[in-house]
Amino acid sequence: MVVCRRPYAEGGPSIPSTEENAVNPIRTRFLAMALGVAAAMPLLSPAQAVAEEFPTRPIEVIVPFPPGGTSDLTARFLADRWSEFLGQPVIVVNKPGAASAVGASFVANAKPDGYTLLVASETSLLSVPTMQPDAGYDRNDFTYLFAYGAGAIVFSTQADAAWKTLPEFIEAAKASPGEMTYASYGIGTMGNFAAELLWREAGVDVTHIPYKSSPEANSAMLGGHVDLSVSSRVGAFADNDDVNILVSSAGDTMPYAPDIPTMKDFGFETSLSYLNIIVGPAGIPDDVKKKLVDAHKQAYEKYKDEIDSGLLNLEQTPVLIEGDEVAELMAEREQWFKDLAPQMSAAK
């Protein structure tokens, strides 16, 4: 493309009058042709120009939790695969705080150019804005790209605890209302919601002690500071004889942990799974959005077996759900979270 710029601004110094600047017929014809080509080319809008070039620099994927959780580990696992098809590094950055509100708000308010993305879930998209009116964003402040994994919450206790099964824990909680405690990775997180749903259906009062991350919640349980922990990771307890996993919140047996019973196995109707979703700020141009989505699809097509195996090892059931469908799912679930919010507030 030929770009013609005026050598001097209007009102500025004039071009020196020399023999070098005399009219040259060949030069004149060349300039005329160049101007004609430039005039014939369509002008690109800023958004179109960005889309054509994207990406020209590294892309940041924000994880709104500390290192070591499911969203962090899965994002790091997938980042190199995405980089291959984007032609730029994909860098995972942890921005924890306020049960994911810090990282989610950062992305919601970022420039919608495709260079700042978020690993989101129902926690950051629905629960936190419902529980924290000052979070500074809601689910409509994002561009939904795709969901890549589905997970569940596990309830764990010390192996030498007096209760060995979920029914035994519930009986102990009924005998001591409000005295039993559980740790989650934050108020309004999916772990918090899963636990309160179960306690409500079981008719028990278990005191909630929130921590900043799943590893911290699990450490509190292992250290005897709480009676039970809820976590998004079974693997945190791999080969740990000091831990007894009582139940998972999944509606069906988890393919990566088939020996862990579900709540339905004990006769409860409660079940709760969550999605790991890649989103960006609202307003990402469609062409940029397509490049990001295509990078994941291409990576999944080329490395399907490897990605499936890796996600299962990281305790995610592999899924591929398009952004528009994910947005619809979040809209459907939003009222459900709002209905439960008063109970979550009371559990503080």
Beta carbons within 10 angstroms of residue 242's beta carbon: 10
* 58-151+274-346: CATH superfamily: Bordetella uptake gene, domain 1 (3.40.190.150)
Q: What is the predicted pLDDT for the residue at 95?
A: 97
Q: How many helices (H) and strands (E) does the chain have?
A: 12, 11
Query: Judging by beta carbons within 10 Å of its beta carbon (0-12, 13-18, 19+), is residue 85 exposed, middle or buried?
Result: middle
Q: Report the distance separating Cα 193 and Cα 184, nearest Å.
A: 10
Distances (CA, A) of 213 to 30, 161, 206, 243, 340: 66, 23, 19, 18, 22
* 154-266 has the same fold as 58-151+274-346: yes
Let me know: does 153 contact 233? Beta carbons within 8 Å: no
**Contact call for residues 212 and 66 (beta carbons, < 8 A):** yes
pLDDT of residue 26: 43
Condensed to tens digits (0 to 9), the pLDDT of residues 118-128 reads 999 999 999 99
288: pLDDT strictly greater than 70: yes
Residues 6+ apart with CB under 8 A from 23: none
Confidence grade of residue 307 (pLDDT, cut at 50, 70, 90) = very high
| Cα–Cα separations (whole angstroms), residue 107 to 37, 63, 136, 251 | 41, 10, 11, 31
Each residue of 184-231: pLDDT tens digit? 988 888 899 899 989 999 999 999 999 988 889 999 999 999 999 999
Contact predicate 233/254, CB 8 Å: no
Quote the longest CA-to-CA distance of the chain.
104
Mean per-residue pLDDT of the chain: 85
How would residue 16 be classed by pLDDT, with cut points 50, 70 and 90?
A: very low
Question: CA nearest 330: which of 274, 290, 257?
Answer: 274
Q: Which residues contact 209 (CB under 8 A, 6 or more apart)?
A: 181, 182, 183, 184, 220, 225, 226
Among residues 252, 251, 260, which one has the least CA distance to residue 165? 260
Where do the structural domains in the chain lie, given as residue ranges? 58-151+274-346, 154-266
> What is the length of the chain?
348
CATH, domain range 154-266: 3.40.190.10
Is the full-model pTM beyond 0.85?
A: no
- Give 46-90 pLDDT, tens digit per residue: 545 555 689 999 999 999 999 988 899 999 999 999 999 999 999
